[in-house]
Amino acid sequence: EEAAAAAAAAESALQSEREARATAQEAAAAAERRSGPLEAQLLEAQRRIESVEGDAIASSRALARATEESTSRDATLESLSRQLAASSEREAELAAGLAGLEVELGEARAELEASRETVATAADSSRAEAEAELRSALASSAAAEEEAAAA
């Protein structure tokens, strides 16, 4: 009887083990079925992370290029600003020089006008003297002719 009970117990244990094994296999298959989509989701998440990292690297490079370009534009702007300041200074110097030349030109014109007036006055005076001498000579000539005719 003990042997039969032990055999029955062993048979029951074997049956329980088979059932446990079947349950474990079903659980493993179910876990495998669940892990497949989870692994796919994990792979997709990793792909997205890599894509985002790639985008971040590209953005960082673009930012570096934009910063470089901005720095270059700032340097160009500063250079142009210095050139403009130098041009403004030169323009002011030229304007002062031009004003000086205009003053000199005005003075030269005034001197020229004064010289013209002096020459005109001298010419008028010389003409008046020449006319007076001519009249005197004509009068002397007329008087000499009268004397010669009377003689």
For the chain, report the end-to-end CA distance as a whole number of angstroms.
215
Whole-angstrom Cα distance, residue 14 to residue 11? 5
Average of per-residue pLDDT across 111-123: 93
Longest dimension (CA), the chain: 215
Average of per-residue pLDDT across 115-143: 92
Tokens 């020449």 -> residue = 130
Provide the 3-class DSSP secondary structure of residue 1.
coil
The residue ranges of DSSP E strands in 5-145, in sequence order, are none
pLDDT of the residue at 41 = 83
Tokens 């009887």 -> residue = 1
- Residue 147: pLDDT over 90: no
- The answer to whether the Cα torsion of 67, 72, 78, 80 is positive or negative is negative
- Residue 83: pLDDT over 90: yes
Give residue-wise pLDDT tens across range 92-112: 999 999 999 999 999 999 999
Name the residue with higher pLDDT: 151 or 9: 9
pLDDT of the residue at 103 = 95
Q: What is the DSSP string of 52-90?
A: HHHHHHHHHHHHHHHHHHHHHHHHHHHHHHHHHHHHHHH
Rounded alpha-carbon distances, angstroms, from residue 45 to 8, 37, 51, 53, 123: 53, 12, 10, 12, 112
Average of per-residue pLDDT across 14-35: 86
pLDDT of the residue at 6 = 81
